[in-house]
């Protein structure tokens, strides 16, 4: 493409963007405030997962020293690319801003493809829980944006690329793979599947080069969250109402026979309705079988409830009610977004300034972000050996190290928010923190599995 054509294309896009803003002033203003809440939320402190994605991006492109292989790569790659221009901290804010704009674009694409009222759809999809959870950990909104593109282009083979990107943002998006069969034609499904597969090749090659196993990331994720998961939390049915508000209010009108008949008609006639009912069912199952029943695991449910809510909106006959919902979303979103327990960076930064030895800690991620190389705990035997080798153990919860008898070390310093254990005079040299979940398993069990080898052994296939 010539330079002149590129300039004309960019000018056309700029003009279209300006026209969109002028034609959708209320929606644009609403989305600016919504994005502002997410940026403000990010300024309140440190979030564990978001820090890890920033450090993973730094590791991939900039010689960083920390990597958690169980994380999907797309968000870190985006954050790492931004770090060529901005600092690591600023890159986090730019990532949120770009993700919010990208979601607006994909929602527009999906709405046009399904003949939905964009203002209504975006308002119903972006409830208080959506605002609070979209970029808190860093990946929910981005994964859903690619899912919207996948669904908008479901009849086209390029949808495989968007589905691949969605899964490379959050591994649990893999539940959408069966939706490719809705294309019906065998050759189209095959081509879509091929494009979908190609999306994973760069990451698999990178993983093979660095770890020796092309499946290091997804198998590490499965190992931690399914096979080796030891903690559980109780089910909270209220989560379904929280995540689906305000669309749930519209769907509740199904008590009226006319609305109920309209929902049934939509479900019978539209292919997309079947796809979205499947998505709702799949994520409900994930929530119920997951050991950790966190509200964010239901995040994708905002899409099906907003879709059906928008479809029956015309039956409500209250045009200005949508502006009431916008106000409720922003106020409720601000409350939820600022009540999420972000951590103060101060104790981690102080520890990084004070300690020069290799460390183990139950707060290993924020310590690494602050500059102190710290591994995660494995078991008491490994902790004991590490202390003998000169490691420092930083205990933030009070559960990692209980006494000097357990560690064969001593309490060196009590900092109030954490305690430092070790052997004075011994100081292990800091090193990279880039082992996989199975590397930790091997240390604890004395085995030598690769990620794939561990999975094959677990399944009894070797």
Domains of the chain (ranges, CATH numbers): 3-337 (no CATH), 346-431 (3.40.190)
Q: Is the Cβ–Cβ distance between 266 and 273 less than 8 Å?
A: yes
Length of the chain, please? 462
pTM here is 0.92
The string of pLDDT tens digits covering residues 416-454 is 889 999 999 999 999 999 998 888 888 888 888 888 888
Q: Which residues on adjacent β-strands are paired with residue 421?
A: 393, 411
359-361 and 392-395 beta bridge pairing: parallel
What are the φ/ψ torsions at residue 65 (nearest 5 degrees)? -115, 0
Cα gap 297→140, rounded to integer Å:
9
Q: Is the Cβ–Cβ distance between 35 and 130 less than 8 Å?
A: no
Torsion (CA) 27, 137, 298, 72 in degrees, nearest 10: 110
Q: Is the Cβ–Cβ distance between 105 and 10 less than 8 Å?
A: no
pLDDT in tens, the chain (462 residues): 667 776 677 777 767 777 777 778 899 999 999 999 999 999 999 999 999 999 999 999 999 999 999 999 999 999 999 999 999 999 999 999 999 999 999 999 999 999 999 999 999 999 999 999 999 999 999 999 999 999 999 999 999 999 999 999 999 999 999 999 999 889 999 999 999 999 999 999 999 999 999 999 999 888 877 777 666 777 788 999 999 999 888 877 766 666 666 666 666 667 888 899 999 999 999 888 877 778 999 999 999 999 989 988 876 667 788 999 999 999 999 999 998 678 899 999 999 999 999 999 999 999 999 999 999 998 888 888 999 999 999 999 877 765 544 556 788 989 988 999 999 999 999 999 999 888 888 888 888 888 888 888 888 876
Which of 399, 439, 403 shows the shortest CA–CA distance to 421?
403
Instruction: Show the beta-strand stretches assigned E in 311-432.
Output: 359-361, 374-375, 392-395, 410-414, 419-422
374-375 and 419-422 beta bridge pairing: unpaired
**pLDDT score, position 32:** 97
**pLDDT score, position 260:** 64
Cα gap 140→149, rounded to integer Å:
15
For 85, the enclosing helix (H) or strand (E) is none
Cα gap 238→247, rounded to integer Å:
15
**pLDDT score, position 406:** 54
């Amino acid at each position: 493409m010539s330079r002149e054509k590129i300039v004309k294309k960019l000018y056309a896009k700029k003009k279209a963007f300006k026209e969109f803003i002028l034609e959708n002033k209320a929606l644009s203003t609403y989305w600016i405030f919504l994005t502002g809440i997410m940026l403000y939320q990010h300024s309140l402190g440190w979030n564990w997962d978001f820090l890890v994605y920033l450090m993973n991006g730094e590791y991939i492109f900039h010689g960083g020293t920390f990597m958690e292989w169980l994380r999907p790569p797309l968000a870190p790659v985006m954050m790492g690319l931004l770090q060529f221009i901005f600092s690591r901290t600023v890159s986090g804010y730019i990532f949120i801003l770009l993700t919010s704009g990208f979601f607006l674009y994909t929602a527009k694409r999906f709405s046009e493809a399904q003949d939905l009222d964009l203002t209504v759809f975006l308002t119903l999809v972006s409830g208080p829980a959506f605002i609070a959870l979209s970029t808190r950990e860093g990946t929910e909104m981005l994964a859903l944006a690619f899912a919207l593109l996948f669904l908008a282009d479901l009849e086209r083979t390029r949808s495989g690329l968007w589905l691949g990107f969605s899964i490379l943002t959050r591994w649990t998006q893999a539940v959408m793979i069966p939706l490719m069969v809705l294309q019906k034609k065998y050759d189209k499904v095959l081509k879509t599947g091929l494009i979908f597969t190609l999306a994973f090749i760069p990451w698999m090659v990178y993983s093979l080069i660095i770890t020796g196993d092309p499946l290091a990331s997804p198998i590490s994720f499965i190992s931690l969250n399914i096979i080796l998961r030891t903690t559980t939390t109780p089910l909270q049915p209220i989560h379904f109402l929280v995540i689906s508000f305000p669309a749930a209010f519209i769907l509740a009108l199904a008590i009226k026979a006319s609305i109920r008949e309209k929902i049934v008609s939509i479900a019978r006639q539209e292919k997309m309705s079947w796809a979205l009912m499947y998505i709702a069912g799949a994520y409900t199952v994930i929530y119920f079988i997951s050991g950790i029943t966190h509200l964010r695991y239901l995040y994708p449910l905002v899409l099906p409830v907003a879709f059906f809510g928008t479809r029956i909106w015309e039956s409500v006959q209250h045009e200005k009610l949508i502006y009431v919902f916008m106000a409720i979303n922003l106020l409720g979103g601000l409350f939820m977004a600022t009540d999420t327990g972000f951590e103060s960076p101060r104790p981690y930064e102080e520890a990084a300034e004070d300690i020069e030895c290799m460390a183990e800690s139950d707060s290993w991620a924020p310590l690494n972000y602050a500059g102190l190389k710290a591994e995660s705990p494995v078991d008491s035997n490994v902790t004991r050996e590490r202390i003998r080798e000169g490691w420092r153990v930083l205990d933030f919860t009070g559960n990692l190290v209980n006494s000097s008898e357990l560690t064969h070390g001593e309490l060196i310093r009590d900092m109030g928010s954490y305690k430092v254990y070790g052997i004075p005079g011994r100081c292990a040299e800091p090193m990279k923190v880039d082992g996989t979940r199975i590397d930790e398993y091997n240390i604890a069990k004395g085995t030598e599995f690769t990620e794939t080898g561990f999975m094959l052994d677990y399944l009894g296939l070797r």
